[in-house]
Structure 1
Amino acid sequence: MVSARVGVTIATADMSLRHEAELRRLLGEQRLVSWFQPIVDLATGDVVAHEALVRGPADSPLHLPDALFSTARRHGLLAELDAACRAAAFWGASAQKLRDPVGLFVNVEPEVLDSAPLDVLLEIAANAPGQLRVVVEFTERALAHRPAELLRTVDRIRDAGWAVALDDVGADELSLAFMPLLRPDVIKLDLRLVQDGPGPDVAQVMNAVNAYAESSGALVLAEGIEDDEHLRLARSLGAVLGQGWLFGRPRPVIDMSARTAALPLPPRRAAQASSSSVVDSQASPFSLLPPGAVLRHAPKALLIELTKQLEREALRQGSACVLASTFQLARYFTPATASRYRDLAERIAFVCALAEDMPAEPLPGVRGAALAAGDPVRSEWDVVVLAPHFSAALLARDLGDDGPDAERRFEYVLTYERSTVAAAGRALLARVVAAEPAAPGTPGTPGTPGTLAPSAGSVLAAVPAPTGADVAECLPSLLGEPSLPALPPVPSLEPGAATEALLRRALDASTSGVCVADVRRPDQPLVYVNPAFERLAGFTAGQVLGRNCRFLQGSDTDPAVIDAIRTAVSAGREWTGVVLNHRGPDRTPWWNEVHLSPVHDDDGALVHYIGVQTDVTERVIAQRELAVERDRTRAQRARLEQLGLRTPL
């Protein structure tokens, strides 16, 4: 039994290392190429653009993009792979004489947005024979994770005359909230909107998308159109462009015989043409007020009440809303304010707070930004609320009064003009930077030995391949288990007795449960569990091996969570979340924080899932007790306000 368990682990680690070596070889030798999928005008059937999709060599285990990107993420090579993909897209389009007015869609991974070598792409495009009509695709994750970097990149893209597309709209409500901030020229609907059919979620997405498209002139593109029924629904949803197997699968060679037409991008709006001023680090929301805006004077007490009203409005807008606020000094972010912002972070899409000395995350789910010395926002009181069908901003400037803090006066504007509100929101998000970059020596960090970097005459430099001694270090990252102890170098990947003993001790020492399921077999049975899993499950390995792990579920397990897990596994994606499980024959309930990771074989086929489980019951109970106490406190505060008392900001 132990030999079988260790054999699975060694084979998985061996495959991971071989995939890393293969990816480094493909990058170093510039072997990645682009395949192209047509995008058509749904009214005429004309091809108006192609999306570039990366492929490895046909005989490589990393031929398909899922295998390429999962390997890159696992081994810290995402930035290098992303750069190689874009370069391959541009060179491939140029070699196949793809020209304006037909467009070229290329993707940018949000995780590497700040290191994306845009200069390389601009140079390639400038030197291409003819002119490329480029549309750069982002997802809502880019704006949520790296607001400042994305807004700067979008400015440079538009300065180059290129267009911007927001991808996977509808997959997450963040995409609806961020549409007016990113101002995409093309909205790419998530394929589930076409393939799943009408429903309340689809109606919510299309309500927001059509409102934005009507006001901006943006094009709506439906992905995943595979048959005539999908096509009819795409048209019903308001899509004017389509992409999917009905019109053509990705191919290495563009069909030059297809009838083409110009990609009908909306005209560049004046607001976009001057967008650089919006994300200028010195532009403040108050300075973006239009000429002639009527300024009023008010004491701090009035601004407090106006602020609370806007916060309540944000809560009413729900999960597709963005709230950005400034506080001058971090000490003004009081416990009472923190209580309100905790509620906001739980119920709306994105919340950020800016002030002098504000930490990067003042509360869980609240993005923070410390205002630099000399930043004009330090003297402002700004609250921006932006949702698909609502916009409002309180933009105020401190008049510098002497005397008690509570009696300070401000000049302010309360505006509902959408373009002004969106510009103010972009100005604030332009100050919210990503988390600190990885320290030198982290894989994938520029300048780190053993990573890829641009070099003269080529997009990427060659990288030394990993050695067999790296297998022990690969195992913890493969399992997603931070508590596994580091192992000394293993001289061979052969499953000898010494190697088996080391790996067994490492897994036995883990305080988190580890299991492996074989997705190739009927009902996806467990083929390995470690001792910690046995303790969490309340059964021995002999009782659970060969069974599907659904035996941990019960009648009170949330069906939505189960569906989310099934969807992720069916799609071969990672999944992390908390699920209610039951332990042992007596079915004792416990809360399980689960991380599931797919494992592919040399051909890129999904063969196993590795699961890591942690008992977080105490944490969940504490969170629920805190929520009850918070509700009680909120009710008491509301009662006090009814009696005429005011809570200080």
Structure 2
Amino acid sequence: MTATQQTITTIDEVLSTGAVHSTYQPIVELDTGRVVAYEALARGPQGPLHTPDALFAAARAAGRLAELDRLCRSAALRGAVAAELRPPLTVFVNVEPEVLESAPMDELLAIATTAPAGLRVVVEITERALATRPADLLRAVERVREVGWGVALDDVGAESMSLAFMPLLRPDVVKLDLRLVQQRPGPAVAEIMNAVNGYAERTGALVLAEGIEDEQHLAMASALGASLGQGWYFGRPGPTAVTDRPVGALDLPPAQLRTAGATDSPFGCLPEGTQLRTAPKALLIELSKHLERQAMRLGETCVVAATFQEARHFTPATSLRYRDLVARTGFVAALGADLPVEPVPGVRGADLAPTDPVRGEWDVVVLSPHFSAALLARDLGDEGPDRQRRYEYALTYDRRTVERAGVALVARVAAQPAPAGPVDADHGQPAAVPAVAPDGGTVEEVLLRRALAATTSGVTIADMTAPDQPLVYVNAAFEQLAGLSAAQVLGRNCRFLQGPDTDPGVVARMRAAVREGAEFRATLLNHRGAEREPWWNEIHLAPVLDAGGAVVQYIGVQTDVTARVTAERELLQERDRTRRHLAQIEELAYTDPLTGLPNRRRFEERMEAALWQARLGGDAVALLFLDLDGFKAVNDARGHAAGDELLQVVADRLRARLRRGDLLARLGGDEFLVGLPGLDPATAEAEARQVAGQLCAAVREPVLLGSAPVQVSASIGVSVHPEDGAEFGPLLHRADARMYAAKHPADAAV
């Protein structure tokens, strides 16, 4: 690092001078110990922009993220030469997901020639890219494969979205989030590993475990099904290749052929010779609903993608179903002519071009790690009633076909959702819904009133041009929800539904949305009828605009979700009780029940953490082994109850004499352990012996048991890291021996 580089403090200077370099962390085969690859980790110049977090945060704030990302990738491949990373090694290079749309891999491919001849490259994509811009992501993956590079999906398990998109991205390497190997196994880990191992078994993909720092982590990585690993156990990131391990080749699965893309048709993904059936649209609707119900049972690792031909087929009833899908599944997409980029909040949409073959299809794809199904249909062009129009279709559970159809649809999904609003089915613009007249009107108005009267959701219309914004229309369903007749509510502001226990924060947000003329969704507590019976209202408010763009009315749709909210709250309460119970069980497993101090198991864990920090910071740690002298005599003379009371008093005195960060545990019987972290190596032993003297003095003070005082003393042995050992076991053994010597000086002299 030059003096000039050391003074670099702004992202503009970094980019103009190219002051970015890479360090390389080895990736190792767990079975053989061979180094088969390195991950290139970006580093900035010495100073405030040295770490990747600071570096990329500065570029993001300056709007120059794409430039920095390109510079880091180029530095990673150029640096591979200086780091002596020669074939058969592979280099893993990260791609920042936020730049996929603005820089769709062209510069990545342009620097392919900078890699050493024969050096394989694997591009890492993090799960943050998956839901935000899926079409760009899929296109980028195809471009990477075109130049013969591999694809790794990073941080798998950190979010359920990574499992949902795994079968669509088809990564060659699945990188497990480090928490999977470093934390205690639980149901979530089991779900992740079922999905990952199932995918690896089907595709031959490699599983790589990150964060391996000790033997325990290594054993857990192997147990989870990983064949590759990286972490400090194998070596820290450095400027050159490690020299103490053998080198081997990374055997990636065979190159994958292109499956489908934004120009492909899901119906066209059906294998040649697939048996096709003919059915009216009415049957396809029911088959689609069945697949939607299956998707909701699959949960957050499920992807749902569907086509609707035209926006008018995405009906209010469809909106309600897809709102439920968004709440229960990982990713939901809807495609059709004139559909907005977000037809329902959370649903990712796409407007199909007039020449897009998907405009003539009815497709529903449901894909998760352990389930795949697709309804793929093509319109036969019938005239007549809409529900009687015929389609030729296939219902397939063949995973390969479902994945190809899913890629074909998701590859069309827009990158950024826009604010949602009522959509005009003919033009894709905000719709101006006419006011509903109280009587008479045109045929369209009569049909609209009948439809609103028949719906099971409460519907209201408020006049935003009148003082206090009164209700001018309510349907029969709303009368039942409110417990009041139309005559009792028309002309009033709908705040009469609220009560003293209605959340004022939700009300404030609703009023702010109305002031801004924005759409609003929430669930809030309302009250019904004269008895003021509480009920939970899932409300959706949508503005109605006049020709000049001014808000003239608000349409409200209300649904009673009391049963759902009650069930959810009961479930949360039960989960909270279970968590507290498990926490109590865990606390008992790590705590001495008599004194309330940590037991040896917890003390050892905390000491290992303190020793690890000491090794990083160059500090010293002392371990004190304390044994009471005279305790047995008290126990024999006064009984076990008195002995227990004496141990509790001693524990309190020891706790009171230690610093806040010091460690204290009861080893068993009349033995205690004390840990003193963060000591100066030059004075650690002296400090530890000083603390030992203070503890001995505290123990010697008389203890009143009943009406008579008793007195005991203590023998203490001291060991210090690093002089007496680097691990807990040797330190404990040395402290124990010195305690015994202090207690039995004659034996020690012999």
Q: What is the TM-score normalised by the length of structure 1? A: 0.64
State the match for 1:175 in structure 2.
162
Say whether residues 1:362 and 2:362 are aligned partners. no
Correspondence for 1:335 among 309, 316, 322 = 316
Which of the pair has more CA radius of gyration?
2
State the match for 1:621 in structure 2.
524
Decide whether the 8 Å contact of 2:348 with 2:414 is kept in 1.
no
State the match for 1:642 in structure 2.
none
Which residues of 2 match residues 424-435 of structure 1 at below 5 A? 424-435=405-416
Counterparts of 2:141 and 2:314, CA distance in 1 = 31
State the match for 2:434 in structure 1.
none
Correspondence for 1:306 among 273, 278, 287 = 287
Decide whether the 8 Å contact of 1:90 with 1:121 is kept in 2.
no
Counterparts of 1:411 and 1:117, CA distance in 2 = 37
Counterparts of 2:189 and 2:264, CA distance in 1 = 37
Q: Residues 208, 81 of structure 1: CA spacing in aligned structure 2 closer, same or farther, 3 A cutoff?
A: same
Which residues of 2 match residues 516-535 of structure 1 at below 5 A? none
State the match for 1:584 in structure 2.
none
The structural deviation recorded for 1:365 is 0.7
State the match for 2:29 in structure 1.
41
State the match for 1:423 in structure 2.
404
Decide whether the 8 Å contact of 1:113 with 1:149 is kept in 2.
yes
Correspondence for 1:238 among 205, 219, 225 = 225
State the match for 2:40 in structure 1.
52
Letter in 2 for 1:626: E
Letter in 1 for 2:84: K
State the match for 1:395 in structure 2.
376
The structural deviation recorded for 1:266 is 1.2
Q: Residues 117, 632 of structure 1: CA spacing in aligned structure 2 closer, same or farther, 3 A cutoff?
A: closer
Correspondence for 1:164 among 148, 151, 162 = 151
Say whether residues 1:112 and 2:88 are aligned partners. no
Decide whether the 8 Å contact of 1:96 with 1:253 is kept in 2.
yes
Question: After TM superposition, which residue ranges in structure 1, 4 or more long, deviate above 6 angstroms?
Answer: 587-590, 632-635
The structural deviation recorded for 1:224 is 0.6
Decide whether the 8 Å contact of 2:303 with 2:368 is kept in 1.
yes
Give secondary structure in 2 for the equivalent of 1:161: coil
Counterparts of 2:325 and 2:108, CA distance in 1 = 40
Give secondary structure in 1 for the equivalent of 2:537: helix
Counterparts of 1:92 and 1:117, CA distance in 2 = 23
State the match for 2:299 in structure 1.
318
Which residues of 2 match residues 494-505 of structure 1 at below 5 A? none
Flag structure 1 segments of 5+ consecutive residues without an equivalent: 1-18, 438-586, 593-616, 636-649
The structural deviation recorded for 1:148 is 1.2
Counterparts of 1:591 and 1:260, CA distance in 2 = 61
- C-alpha RMSD of matched pairs (Å): 2.7
Q: Residues 214, 64 of structure 1: CA spacing in aligned structure 2 closer, same or farther, 3 A cutoff?
A: same
The structural deviation recorded for 1:117 is 6.2
Say whether residues 1:66 and 2:47 are aligned partners. no
The structural deviation recorded for 1:633 is 11
Letter in 1 for 2:408: A
Decide whether the 8 Å contact of 2:18 with 2:71 is kept in 1.
yes
The structural deviation recorded for 1:144 is 1.1
Correspondence for 1:273 among 257, 264, 267 = 257
Counterparts of 2:92 and 2:135, CA distance in 1 = 23
Q: What is the TM-score normalised by the length of structure 2? A: 0.56
Counterparts of 1:286 and 1:630, CA distance in 2 = 39
Decide whether the 8 Å contact of 2:77 with 2:114 is kept in 1.
no
Counterparts of 1:25 and 1:113, CA distance in 2 = 24
Give secondary structure in 2 for the equivalent of 1:621: strand
Flag structure 2 segments of 5+ consecutive residues without an equivalent: 1-6, 419-500, 507-519, 527-535, 540-557, 566-750
Question: What do the CA deviations read for 1:23-61 (whole angstroms, capped 9, x no partner)?
Answer: 110111001000110000000111110000011122x21
Give secondary structure in 1 for the equivalent of 2:112: helix
Counterparts of 1:618 and 1:180, CA distance in 2 = 33
State the match for 1:191 in structure 2.
178
The structural deviation recorded for 1:352 is 0.4
Decide whether the 8 Å contact of 2:342 with 2:417 is kept in 1.
no
Question: What do the CA deviations read for 1:93-112 (whole angstroms, capped 9, x no partner)?
Answer: 13333233211001111111
Q: Residues 257, 122 of structure 1: CA spacing in aligned structure 2 closer, same or farther, 3 A cutoff?
A: farther
Say whether residues 1:297 and 2:297 are aligned partners. no
Letter in 2 for 1:265: L
Count of residue pairs brought into register by the alignment: 438
Decide whether the 8 Å contact of 1:300 with 1:410 is kept in 2.
yes
Decide whether the 8 Å contact of 1:91 with 1:124 is kept in 2.
no
Decide whether the 8 Å contact of 2:35 with 2:247 is kept in 1.
yes
Higher normalized contact order (CA 8 Å, seq sep 6+, divided by chain length): 1
Decide whether the 8 Å contact of 1:358 with 1:370 is kept in 2.
yes
Say whether residues 1:79 and 2:66 are aligned partners. yes
Decide whether the 8 Å contact of 1:20 with 1:75 is kept in 2.
no
Say whether residues 1:30 and 2:31 are aligned partners. no
State the match for 1:413 in structure 2.
394
State the match for 1:641 in structure 2.
none
Say whether residues 1:218 and 2:205 are aligned partners. yes
The structural deviation recorded for 1:618 is 10
